[in-house]
């Protein structure tokens, strides 16, 4: 087990130009290239454990991969997706497993998707049930509730599906399945979730429409490729910095009263809600738009300062990954901060509500845990040794917390899932030391 020691830090002013590229877009690039009519090029594909698992699976399914420096050339299989000779290991990647499940449900062959102990404990009925309803032959443990998942490709039917949760993974799985039908499909969700799938597929030539419904929900309408006999166009783009990864350094600015400039960050509105929360707490945040192809990209400047408590209970899908890091700001804010409607945190890589509250308490912060959220009373962070709970976002969040007081993080290897050089960047702010402990 790796133990990471973090020393207390001083205020600073710095640009960060090497933040991990976006995980969501990297996953989709590897998967969508399988459907392309010609080779695709991606600059800056995230070389984290999760996205490398997805890339390896795509190779097993027939994707050709050529690398030149920081650019990947992704060559689609000449005769369609291949049946693999082995079980497909998604590692810790819920995005990879759920999107591949949707894609492979309509592909001829037998496919088995598995993951590590954490992924195989995450809920899968949210995809197995709607996919089965449109003709997929997909089975998992405990009445299809958990991976490993066994999929036998079948003829799928167009659908009109109303999801009860806002989940980009569920939506994307259903869109990838629906593309393999002959007809129009509709997908409804109660709040717009990350829409990278829609944006990228639209850029590849899919006729896909999004609209806001009268009840505040969102609907996606698209045509199956068998209906249009259309092949997808190749893509060529540079993956921007991941706003979820950039956010840790925004929180660092708030912890230390520092100023940061985060370069070339994805600015999709469904991904920067946590920065909006920082603004409402008293931080100064500025956005500088630089480019737009499939997605808006730009720089984000954050100036830390005195923070006030806040209540977070809406647009949870837009900041679900940033809530553990936000909790560090809650711990230093004046007053009582609250999070509600965030039960989804309990079924991520760890139970993030429990993990966050446990570690905050160890660091001397008064807080309360409830079924769908938690509350935090602002105070003073104290040096402590905390657990990552095997969750990369918990590990990075509390590494940032320890900038205020120093401390240690157990089982920090999990950081490599999404941000392999996080500790290297953090060492530009303070002393970081790794040690192995049996």
Query: Which domains can be identified in the chain, with CATH numbers?
Result: 2-21+240-436 (3.65.10.10), 23-224 (3.65.10.10)
Q: By mean pLDDT, which of 98-102, 222-226, 382-386 is the weakest? A: 222-226
Active site residue 321: yes
Closest CA to 421 of 146, 151, 8, 20: 20
Q: What is the pLDDT of residue 228?
A: 72
What is the pLDDT averaged over residues 105-122? Answer: 97
Confidence of residue 93 (pLDDT cuts 50, 70, 90): very high
What integer is the mean pLDDT of 168-190? 97
Measured CA to CA in angstroms, residue 306 lies from 35, 253, 309, 380, 399 at distances of 50, 11, 10, 13, 21
Confidence category of residue 230, pLDDT binned at 50, 70, 90: confident
* Three-class DSSP labels, 65-114: EEEECCEEEEECCCCCCCCCCCCEECCCCHHHHHHHHHHHCCCCCEEEEE
Select which of 89, 321, 411, 416 is catalytic.
321
pLDDT tier for residue 102 given thresholds of 50, 70 and 90 = very high
pLDDT at 292: 86
* Res 437: pLDDT: 87
Is residue 231 pLDDT above 90, yes or no? no
Tokens for 153? Answer: 């490709």
226 has a pLDDT exceeding 90 = no
Predicted local distance difference test score (pLDDT) of residue 320: 96
Quick one: pLDDT band at residue 293, thresholds 50, 70, 90?
confident
Whole-number average pLDDT of the chain: 97
């Amino acid at each position: 087990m790796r133990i990471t020691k973090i020393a207390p830090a001083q205020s600073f002013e710095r640009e960060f130009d090497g933040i991990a590229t976006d995980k969501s877009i990297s996953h989709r690039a590897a998967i969508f290239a399988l459907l392309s009519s010609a080779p695709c090029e991606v600059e800056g594909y995230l070389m984290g454990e999760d996205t490398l698992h997805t890339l390896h699976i795509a190779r097993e399914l027939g994707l050709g991969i050529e690398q030149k420096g920081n650019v990947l050339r992704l060559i689609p299989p000449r005769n369609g997706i291949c049946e693999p000779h082995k079980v497909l290991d998604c590692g810790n990647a819920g995005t990879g497993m759920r999107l591949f499940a949707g894609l492979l449900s309509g592909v001829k062959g037998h496919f088995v998707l598995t993951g590590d102990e954490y992924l195989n404990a995450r809920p899968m009925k949210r995809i197995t049930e709607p996919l089965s309803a449109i003709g997929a032959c997909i089975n998992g443990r405990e009445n299809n509730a958990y991976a490993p998942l066994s999929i036998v490709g079948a003829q799928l039917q167009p659908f009109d599906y109303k999801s009860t949760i806002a989940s980009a993974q569920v939506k994307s799985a259903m869109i990838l399945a629906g593309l393999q039908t002959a007809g129009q499909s509709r997908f409804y969700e109660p709040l717009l979730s990350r829409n990278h799938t829609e944006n990228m597929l639209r850029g590849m030539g899919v006729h896909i429409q999004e609209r806001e419904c009268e009840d505040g929900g969102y609907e996606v309408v698209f045509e199956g490729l068998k209906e249009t006999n259309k092949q997808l166009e190749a893509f060529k783009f540079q993956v921007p910095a991941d706003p979820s990864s950039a956010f840790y350094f925004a929180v660092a600015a708030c912890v230390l009263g520092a100023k940061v400039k985060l370069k070339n960050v994805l600015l999709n509105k469904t991904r920067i809600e946590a920065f909006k929360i920082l603004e409402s707490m008293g931080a100064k945040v500025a956005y500088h738009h630089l480019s737009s192809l499939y997605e808006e990209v730009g720089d984000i400047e954050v100036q830390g300062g005195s923070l006030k408590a806040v209540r977070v209970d809406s647009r949870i899908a837009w900041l679900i990954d940033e809530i553990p890091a936000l909790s560090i700001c809650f711990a230093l804010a004046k007053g009582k901060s609250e999070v509600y409607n965030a039960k989804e945190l309990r079924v991520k890589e760890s139970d993030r509500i429990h993990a966050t509250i446990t570690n905050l308490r160890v660091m001397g912060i008064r807080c309360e845990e409830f079924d769908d959220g938690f509350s935090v009373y602002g105070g003073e962070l104290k040096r402590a040794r905390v657990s990552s709970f095997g969750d990369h976002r918990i590990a990075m969040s509390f590494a940032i917390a320890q900038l205020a007081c120093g401390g240690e993080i157990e089982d920090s290897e999990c950081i490599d899932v999404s941000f392999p050089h996080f500790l290297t960047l953090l060492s530009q702010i303070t002393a970081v030391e790794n040690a192995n402990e049996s």
